[in-house]
Structure 1
Amino acid sequence: MAANPRGTTPEPPTASDDPLATLVSLPGVADAVDSVRKGVDRVYGHRIMRRRSTEVTSEAALRGARASAALSGADWELEEVRRRTDFGVDGEPRTVGAALRLTAEAGQLLSVWRQSPLRVLARLHLVAAGGGAADDAVGRPRLAGEPVVEEQLVELTLPGADEVAGRLDGLARLLLAGSEAPALVTAAVVHGELLALRPFGSHNGLVARAAERIVLVGSGLDPKSICPAEVGHAEQGRAAYAAALEGYASGTPEGVAAWIAHCGRAVELGSRESTAVCEALQRGAA
């Protein structure tokens, strides 16, 4: 996918040429893109990144997974995530384990994403579900009449299976066609579509946030995966997350713009979190 990861906002082409790029003209989106670029540049420019970037990446992955699990109802303290090993137990431990697995897997799927986003989404669901779902329901979009077992965070009307299939295909075509849209815009649309559609029978929130991470990393905005947007989404709170998603699902220009800005703020907060990690490493405190 062509991308404009951190640079200046492109001139939006016509909607038929590049629908994602036209979203940059929505109120506040260009400002959000600029703020994200500055926040990401700030952490990448930290002196600790020159020699200890691997440690920052590892810590960002852990904190991102913890935050994503929290948004899915398993709000554990970071130190509890570090020490626990019983992630196969039903309930919250399984949710945290799924988040950890997805974060680890996301970095391995960048090249596949560029060729087949739908294959990656299937793989992400397979990884998230582990042994927790019936085999014939794992790794494929839900069929007509199949229920969705999901956290209460998303309370939008559930689209039917035919709509899900059509919109997933449209999203994949859009991504494969390439776009000059900034990475934030593409990531926000991928995240929002997956949350609104809930294409799988379970773990849709975790999968959507993992897909957002893949776009941010693969676009070149955050190549070392040190700016965990999941942390920012959790920090802004579940209510704000749900409200912003409702705006996206409404399809109005204002709602879509607000969702993109919300995702931008999440990346900024994730960048700030990793800046704090860099400071702690520099002091020898982490």
Structure 2
Amino acid sequence: MTDPLARLVSLEGVASAYAATRDGIDVMLRDRGLRRTTPEQTAESLLRGAQASAALEDSESTLDEVRDGAGDAVARDAVRVSTELLALVPVLRTAPLQAFARLHALAAKGTLADEELGRPRSAEAAGRLRGLSELLLAPTTAPALVVAAIVHADLMTVAPFGSHNGLVARAAERLVMVARGVDEKSLTVPEAGHLTHRAEYESNLRGYASGGQAGIHAWLLYGAEAFAAGAEASPLRA
């Protein structure tokens, strides 16, 4: 069976960039005492991620406001996703479509009609989601962070749901990182990495959406930097 992601890893600079980023994440987790981390630190990481993801949707809620439950509607949607995210790890491993649908149902609750929650907006979007699910279930030698970056960008550019696609895409990226063993306790904050590099994030997503190899290449190189920044935003750094 052909590895669908192997050609992406072979693009110039991708393998070395992701190896360096993964090494940095591993060192940070190990040096900060991964075995001694607490559920509270995981919860804080998820909360920071929710606030950052909401900010990328133009929420103006601060981390303190979100922590106090006083954030705006977008921030509340993001927090609702974060509270159930880790429960979806086994679902993503075996039934990615169900995981994507649940992420959207959580994000869009109270915004869309119940019958629209978790449902693709068109037959074409449903087909693209099936393709992404098959990609996740296929064997690959690609680094887990590369898989996470591709899942994120595909969900963003396909925008398969009627709303909240950004929140879903960034939550799915974090979910892949947990499910594939990069950050099993979800202590890094990839969403904050994207917020730190917001201009590059948005421009590289536009390039990815163009469908050309140059855009995909640029997105992957950007992603390695964003994941590194997300590690710096971990509560373990405090």
TM-score > 0.5 by shorter chain: yes
TM-score (norm 2): 0.94
1-structure distance, mates of 2:151, 2:173: 6
One-letter code of the match for 1:180?
T
| Aligned match for 1:270, one of 220, 226, 230 | 230
State how far apart, in whole Å, the 2-side matches of 1:79 and 1:165 are.
38
Q: 217, 224, 239: which one pairs with 2:185? A: 224
- Pick aligned residue for 1:245 from 199, 205, 219: 205
Gapped runs of 5+ residues in structure 1? 1-15, 88-92, 143-160, 281-286
After TM superposition, the structure 1 = structure 2 runs for residues 122-271 of structure 1, keeping only pairs within 5 Å, are 122-142=101-121, 161-237=122-198, 239-271=199-231
CA–CA separation in structure 1 for the residues paired with 2:27 and 2:60: 29
Residues 248 and 259 in structure 1, CA contact (< 8 A), matched pair in contact too: yes
Alpha-carbon distance, 1:80 to partner: 1.6
| CA–CA distance in structure 2, aligned partners of residues 58 and 121 of structure 1 | 21
Residue 278 to residue 112, structure 1, CA distance change in 2 (3 Å): closer
Cα distance in 1, alignment partners of residues 236 and 176 from structure 2: 24
Question: Structure 1 25/49 Cα, relative in aligned 2: closer, same or farther at 3 Å?
Answer: same
- Find the structure with the greater CA-based Rg: 1
**How far did residue 110 of structure 1 move?**
0.9
- Of 9, 25, 36, the residue aligned with 2:10 is 25
Q: Is the 8 A contact 1:232 1:268 kept in 2?
A: yes
Q: Distance between the aligned counterparts of 2:127 and 2:37, measured in 1?
A: 44
**Per-residue deviation at 1:42?**
2.2
SS in 2 for 1:227: coil
Cα contact 1:72–1:205 (8 A) shared by 2: yes
Shift of 1:52: 3.2
Higher RCO (C-alpha under 8 Å, 6+ residues apart): 1
| Cα distance between partner residues in 2 of 1:73 and 1:41 | 32
Larger relative helix fraction? 2
Aligned residues: 238
RMSD of the TM alignment (CA)?
1.6
Q: Secondary structure at the match of 2:184?
A: coil
Give the letter for the 1:252 counterpart: G
- Residue 231 of structure 1 and its aligned partner are, at CA, apart by 0.5
**Structure 1, 208-217 or 171-180: larger mean CA deviation:** 171-180
Equivalent position SS for 1:133: coil
Q: How does 1:16-165 map to 2 (within 5 A)?
A: 17-85=2-70, 93-142=72-121, 161-165=122-126
